[in-house]
Amino acid sequence: MLSFTVSAPGKIILHGEHAVVYGKPALATSLNLRTTIHLSGNDGSIFILCLPSIDINKAWEVTDLELLYSTIQEGNGSIPSSPDTATLSRLRQFTDAEDGNAKDLAIIVFLYLHSQIIGSRGSLAALRVVVGSDLPVGAGLGSSAAYSVSLAAVLLVLAGQIRQIPNSWTREELGLVNSWAFEAERIIHGNPSGVDNAVSTYGGLILYRKGEALKPARGNSLQVVIVNSHVPRSTKRLVEKVKERLDKYPEIIRPMLESMEALVVKALDTMQGFENSDANVCYDILEELIDINQSQLNVLGVGHLSLEHICLLCQQNDFHCKLTGAGGGGCAFVLIRPDASKEKVKTLIKSIEEAGYMSWLTSIGGSGVTLHESMPLSS
């Protein structure tokens, strides 16, 4: 039996959230905030799952899991698949999951990936799985994707589907992690675009469009302040809300999605044009695009008063800000121009924090899913 630690990053979507669900491109980047999963063998017959970020600790008899898995669809670790309805309802029943409780979905995701990747027939090893995270949960920074990606990776290593050599995963191995993570995101989000799990798997700045090969994007490394409104929300619910608005007013909302696509193209163009253009002009454009995108997202119905308040505080301090992720609360980011004085940034952060929000200054980018160590365990 071995012990593994895997981590995967959260993300911010610079532009294109929600529209990406409808086949439009999104520009997204990894963050230096990560979710880390440590998996090790456990003495005896108890299987332990610790999820401290959501206050959940579970201990199951291994034989109970074996019995459960014998009654659900059979898995194949090398072929990612979605749960059938009977499997989902069996897992819900086993975990006593309440309808609509997002936290319970983390346990269902764990059981689903474990049963499918490790195998749903035969005897199981007792394990201890501990999940730590720097990311706020349910706040738009892709905590669900970082959880799904690191979980898929740790289980695929255990199953021998991907190698346990740090920094060595091939594109193919990462592809398998990404595909399983997408299945997990489906359970949590309902109808994910796949952008969050892709950024968390591959890291860096990417241009993502559903169904197309991933395009790593070249761009100036930007500095941002992330602001957490602390207003809880669920991505699943907000994605459903946009769908409802699109179905109700297709002639109004469809052109908005087209306009959001054009904005992503312009933002990428601007970020890639820094070398040959006046940086001030580029930053002016990026700031305007942030303002426009924020208004577009309000039209989709995913704004929130707290987010408007944060944008206003930024405007009063001569900065530009938009929500990131699903919206409805959660986080926003503020673009920090390189010529902004430390004093000016300090004043901004002070006014945000005095208003009761949390903020942190960070540069974007950073590595995707990573295997940290693998050491033999005494059995």
Ligand X SMILES: C[C@@](O)(CCOP(=O)(O)O)CC(=O)O
Q: Which of 144, 148, 200, 234 is catalytic?
A: 144
| Min separation Cβ 252 and ligand X, Å | 19
193 binds, among ligand ADP, ligand X, Mg ion, none (CB under 5 to 8 A by kind): ligand X
Calpha distance 318→340 (Å, rounded): 10
144 touching Mg ion, by CB under 5 A: yes
| Min separation Cβ 111 and ligand X, Å | 21
Please report, as ranges, the residues that interact with ligand ADP according to CB under 6 A.
Answer: 35, 51, 53-54, 102-103, 105-106, 131, 133, 137-144, 147, 188-189, 234-235, 325
Nearest Cα neighbor of 224 from 330, 343, 364 is: 364
For residue 217, give the 3-state DSSP assignment. coil
Q: Would you put residue 366 in left (φ > 0), alpha (ψ -120 to 50) or beta?
A: left
257 touching ligand X, by CB under 6 A: no
Residues between 126 and 165 with contacts to ligand X, criterion CB under 6 A: 140-142, 144
> Per residue in 294-321, is it b (16+ CB within 10 Å) or e — as a string?
bebbbebbbbbebbbbbbebbeebebbb
35 touching ligand X, by CB under 6 A: no
First CA to last CA distance, the chain: 7
DSSP 74-85: PP-TTS--PPPH
Q: Nearest residue to Mg ion, using CB?
A: 144
297 touching ligand X, by CB under 6 A: no
| Torsion 197-200-203-204 (CA) sign | positive
Calpha distance 211→185 (Å, rounded): 16
* CA 351 to centroid of chain Cα atoms: 28
Draw the binding track, 173-212, toward ligand X (x: CB under 6 A; -: no contact): ----------------x--xx-xx----------------
The answer to whether residue 229 is catalytic is no
Residues between 226 and 245 with contacts to ligand X, criterion CB under 6 A: 235, 239
Q: Which of 150, 196, 200, 359 is catalytic?
A: 196
147 binds, among ligand X, ligand ADP, Mg ion, none (CB under 5 to 8 A by kind): ligand ADP
197 touching Mg ion, by CB under 5 A: no
106 binds, among ligand ADP, ligand X, Mg ion, none (CB under 5 to 8 A by kind): ligand ADP
294 touching Mg ion, by CB under 5 A: no
Nearest Cα neighbor of 294 from 314, 271, 318, 272 is: 314
The answer to whether residue 196 is catalytic is yes
**Residues classed as catalytic:** 144, 196
Point out which residues bind Mg ion (CB under 5 A): 144, 235
